[in-house]
Amino acid sequence: MSGDLFAPKVPEEIANRRPLADRLRPKSLGEVTGQEHLTGEEGILRRMIASGSLGSMIFWGPPGTGKTTVARLLSGEAGLVFEQISAIFSGVADLKKVFETARLRRMDGRQTLLFVDEIHRFNRAQQDSFLPVMEDGTVILVGATTENPSFELNAALLSRARVLTFKPHDEASLEELLKRAEETEERPLPLDADARASLIRMADGDGRAVLTLAEEVWRAARAGEVFDTEGLTQIVQRRAPVYDKGQDGHYNLISALHKSVRGSDPDAALYYLARMFDAGEDPLYLGRRLVRMAVEDIGLADPQALVICNAAKDAYDYLGSPEGELALAQACVYLATAPKSNGVYTAFKAAMRAARENGSLLPPKHILNAPTKLMKGEGYGDGYRYDHDEPDAFSGQNYFPEKMGRQVFYDPPERGFEREIRKRLDWWVKLRNERGEP
């Protein structure tokens, strides 16, 4: 909806019933907290306004970081008419109506800033509908999204808009919001120091959430009552972690877990595993990811890693939650503390690349079976030496196609069990050289 200077004034007693977060909305860009890189004196938005060249933008950031508020303030300070729609509730007909209104407004010398909340929820065709009105200047588009624009928005739309990243509020900016709330309410928040710190952590970087939680505390407190952390937890029933199993939160945490395991940090690995359990991730998904880590990052440096991860997955399947989660935690720690090797992983990728690049080469004839006379006549099987009958049970023959020659894909490091594998490979190379095998 567009701003209207002539809208009826809301009675003061009703206005004061509005949620605290709404009453504390900043009235200028200078009052915005937590996004100084955008709204501060040297921020990019201030520079755009000063230059008089405001372009279309995508505001990307988590909930409660001020995307809607900043867009509204931006339109006011740039002298633009503010229009707002939500991709959740709007369709093609709504977009056409907004575009036509903006065209008529432009003929009167007024320009429109169109704010589109949850813009990633528009499908590709709907996103394409913005392109003409962005190009001809009918609207300055400001789209807001909590999802990674690279994955959720058309390349054509992204090429016409600048992506600005909104950061989660840090503890200092959340504390500043609480102080503003106390000034507005004209009373201190009835929490001791530890409980206040806990409330800030519960907000998880969300400015709206910290004010909503504070409002719940004020509602619950009796005269003279001050809550400790336990009391706070009982009142607000703890806010659920910000985590969407299908979106960035999911991929960020699984990436952090995987890299902590690879980096041999069992404490960090357990922390991210616990974060995902706490957020409601499917434990069997985590079990599958642990199996993947066992074969990708530990490999043959510790062959037991794969066995243990499969056993942990089966244990969870058998025990269920919460008992089975301990089995997955045990596997996670085992992986993090195991010797690391991507030798097989790297070798397999190299072998796949060689298979694609060299086509359908025939294996050397001496290792081909010859079940028919014709095949025997073609030389299939000629010269094959049965390794068990050879000294050291090793013939050293070449098994690669003749046009390729012998290749080396697997180069085990001197770590864990692969030290032993390295010794075997070196021994076989020595025997092959002594026997003059190619």
> What pLDDT does 15 receive?
52
- Residue 328 CA to residue 312 CA, distance in Å, equals 5
Cβ burial of 338 (10 Å; 0-12, 13-18, 19+) is buried
Q: What mean pLDDT is predicted for residues 41-63?
A: 90
Instruction: Looking at the structure, give the CATH architecture of the domain made up of residues 343-434.
Output: Orthogonal Bundle (1.10)
For 171-236, give the CATH class.
Answer: mainly alpha
The closest of 309, 284, 285, 283 to 296, measured between CA atoms, is 309
What's residue 271's pLDDT?
94
What CA–CA distance (Å, rounded) separates 399 from 354?
Answer: 15
- At residue 90, the pLDDT reads 85
Q: What is the pLDDT of residues 350-359, one digit of tens each?
A: 999 998 888 8
The model's pLDDT over 7-21, given as tens digits with 9 standing for 90+, comes to 455 555 555 578 888
Report how far residue 167's alpha carbon sits from residue 164's, in angstroms, rounded to the nearest whole number: 10
pLDDT tens-digit readout, 371-430 = 888 888 888 889 899 999 989 999 989 889 988 888 999 999 999 999 999 999 999 999
- Is pLDDT of 2 > 80? no
- Of 76-85, 119-128, 247-256, 292-301, the least confident: 247-256
Q: For 79-124, how does the pLDDT look when each residue is reduced to its tens digit (9 = 90+)?
A: 999 999 999 888 888 899 999 999 999 998 899 999 999 999 998 8
Do residues 65 and 75 make contact, with C-beta atoms less than 8 angstroms apart? no
67: tokens are 């995307």
Per-residue model confidence (pLDDT) at position 1 = 44
Token output for 182:
């106390």
User: How many whole angstroms separate alpha carbon 20 and alpha carbon 16?
Assistant: 9
Is pLDDT at 4 greater than 60 in this prediction? Answer: no
Among left, alpha and beta (phi > 0; psi -120 to 50; other), residue 85 is beta
Fold of the 12-165 domain: Rossmann fold (3.40.50)
Nearest-angstrom CA–CA distance, 257 and 273? 6
d(CA 152, CA 175) in angstroms, rounded, equals 33
| Mean pLDDT, residues 194-220 taken together | 91
Lowest-confidence region among 1-5, 158-162, 243-247, 290-294: 1-5
Give mean pLDDT, residues 192-219: 91
pLDDT score of 242 more than 80: no
Letter string b/e over residues 43-78, b meaning 16 or more CB atoms within 10 A of that residue's CB: bebbebbeeeebebbbbbbbebbbbbbbbbbbbeeb
- List the chain domain ranges: 12-165, 171-236, 248-337, 343-434
Q: What is the mean pLDDT of residues 290-301?
A: 96
Distance in angstroms (rounded) separating the CA atoms of residues 67 and 163: 12
End-to-end CA distance of the chain: 78
Instruction: State the average pLDDT for the chain.
Output: 88
Calculate mean pLDDT across residues 133-161: 91
CATH for 248-337 (3.30.930.10, 1.20.272.10, 3.40.50.300, 3.90.180.10): 1.20.272.10
